[in-house]
Amino acid sequence: MLSFRDPIHGFIRTDDLETALVASRPMQRLRFIRQLGWTFLIFPGAEHSRFSHTLGTMHLAGRVYDALAAKSDGLLPKAPGCRERRLVRVAALLHDIGHAPYSHSAEDMFSEPIDHEEMTCRLIATPEMQEIFDRHGDGLDPVDVRQVLLKQAEGPLRLLTDIVTSELDVDKMDYLRRDSLYCGVEYGSYDLERLIDTVAPIEDPENGQWRLGVDHGGVHALEALVMARYYMFTQVYFNVTGKVMELHFSEWLRSTGIRWPAEPLEFLGHDDISVYQTMRRSEDRHARAIVHRERYSLAFETKEHLSAEERRQFQQLLPLLQERFGSENLLINHSAKDPHRLRKNRVLVRGYDGSLQPMAEASDFIRHMSRIDSYRVYSPEEIRQEVAAEVRRHWKSWAPLRGDGGH
């Protein structure tokens, strides 16, 4: 058994299987993958890794499982060492092992059309991981973990998938608190204890599937989680300087032809350190933008919530800008995110009388939240004012130019 002292959850302890998995190459690699990519260049405290996040996610998976089992009337076994509890903890522990260097910064740069979820499944299927399960799994197998992560579990086991990946999952519960702490902001705060206390296993009457929901007393705690996520995206994940660093990084990868290997064992050789060492030796303008702080400046920014028509109009403007200034002198960022998908994914609220209502209807606050959808235009500092003036000339609904924040 290992015991980790975590700044969010206190002591996190592992059993034999989890201990062996923590020592594996895919897990140890996560120590060298920053949780927030290039955000540490803007928020100096954001040096935390995917490794610590996965430990926290595993810990919360066990806690949420226990809360559900206590309310499930035998649907889920309560024993601490039961197969279901062990499975959901292991799935949570391994859910991020397929992340590329600098996390989400350039996830679309695999040599095949895959994402980090697919790479996670490929890594779980490697001989090293299979051997660990054969020695310590005690009935668990990599196939079981992949079924949870790929949402292929059926019946009550569908709850295990919701614990790890859903609108109410332990991934969000951990990263919001963790990212907020390390960035030195309060935006990611919400009532974790109340939320766990009120989660409930609910059978959806529309399709008979078991889903993770909340009792009525947890409505405001879930609202706070959604609001925390919204603010973390607008204030941290979509930070004006952080996004231009991601754009420079992607452009450097494209210009050099670097792609993340789709073969899992080869992929393990790539992490933040190896990539940064290559960047330091590069004379490419986008590598220098990051390494030597020669980044492009913000020239123009739309408002935060564009309508579909405004988005279409702005997209029509981009070719005009590229023709005049050259595509190499412009970086365009499109930040788009739904603050929640509670309506689409039907998180249900169980009333005091046992009645069920979708969270998207139970909460007036949730019902009125709109999608984050905005554009930013970056350019070299020497032409920034000219680019800004040109955008304003064409853009009738422009937002006042903000100061170029960051360092």
Q: Which residues of 157-188 are buried (b: 16+ CB within 10 A; e: fewer)?
A: bbbbbbbbbbbbbbbbbbbbbbbbbbbebebb
- Rounded to an integer, what distance in angstroms lies between the CA atom of residue 23 and that of residue 28? 6
Give yes or no for a contact between 97 and 268, defined as CB atoms under 8 angstroms apart: no
| pLDDT score of 78 | 92
- Rounded to an integer, what distance in angstroms lies between the CA atom of residue 160 and that of residue 367? 27
Q: In degrees, to the nearest 5, what angle opens at C-alpha 148 toward C-alphas 24 and 361?
A: 130
| pLDDT score of 407 | 35
Other beta carbons within 10 angstroms of residue 272's beta carbon come to 22
| pLDDT score of 396 | 63
Q: Are strands 210-215 and 348-350 parallel, antiparallel or unpaired?
A: parallel
Q: Tens digit of pLDDT for each residue in 121-154?
A: 999 999 999 999 999 999 999 999 999 999 998 8
Within its chain, how far is the Cα of 387 from the centroid?
A: 32
3-state SS, residue 199: strand
Q: Tens digit of pLDDT for each residue in 219-231?
A: 999 999 999 999 9
Give yes or no for a contact between 156 and 75, defined as CB atoms under 8 angstroms apart: yes
- What share of the chain in percent tops pLDDT 90? 86
Q: Top-level CATH class of 2-238? A: mainly alpha
- Rounded to an integer, what distance in angstroms lies between the CA atom of residue 309 and that of residue 179? 34
65: Cβ–Cβ under 8 A, 6 or more apart, which residues?
76, 84, 85, 88, 89, 160, 163
Q: Tens digit of pLDDT for each residue in 384-398?
A: 999 999 999 888 644
Q: Tens digit of pLDDT for each residue in 259-317?
A: 999 999 999 999 999 999 999 999 999 999 999 999 999 999 999 999 999 999 999 99
The mean predicted confidence, pLDDT, of the chain is: 93
Task: Find the radius of gyration of the CA atoms of the chain.
Answer: 23
| pLDDT score of 399 | 47
Closest to 59 (Cα-Cα) out of 10, 120, 131, 123 = 10
Closest to 346 (Cα-Cα) out of 158, 192, 88 = 158
| pLDDT score of 357 | 94
3-state SS, residue 314: helix
Unique residue bearing structure tokens 């204890």: 193
| pLDDT score of 402 | 42
Residue 401 pLDDT class (50, 70, 90 cuts): very low
Q: Tens digit of pLDDT for each residue in 309-361?
A: 999 999 999 999 999 999 999 999 999 999 888 877 889 999 999 999 999 89
Token pair of 167, please? 């609108």
Residue 1 pLDDT class (50, 70, 90 cuts): confident
Token pair of 394, please? 């064409």
Q: How far is CA 207 from CA 154, 202, 345, 356, in A?
A: 12, 12, 12, 14
The domain segmentation of the chain, as residue ranges, is: 2-238
Within its chain, how far is the Cα of 148 from the centroid?
A: 18
Give yes or no for a contact between 260 and 109, defined as CB atoms under 8 angstroms apart: yes
Give yes or no for a contact between 223 and 217, defined as CB atoms under 8 angstroms apart: no
| pLDDT score of 344 | 78
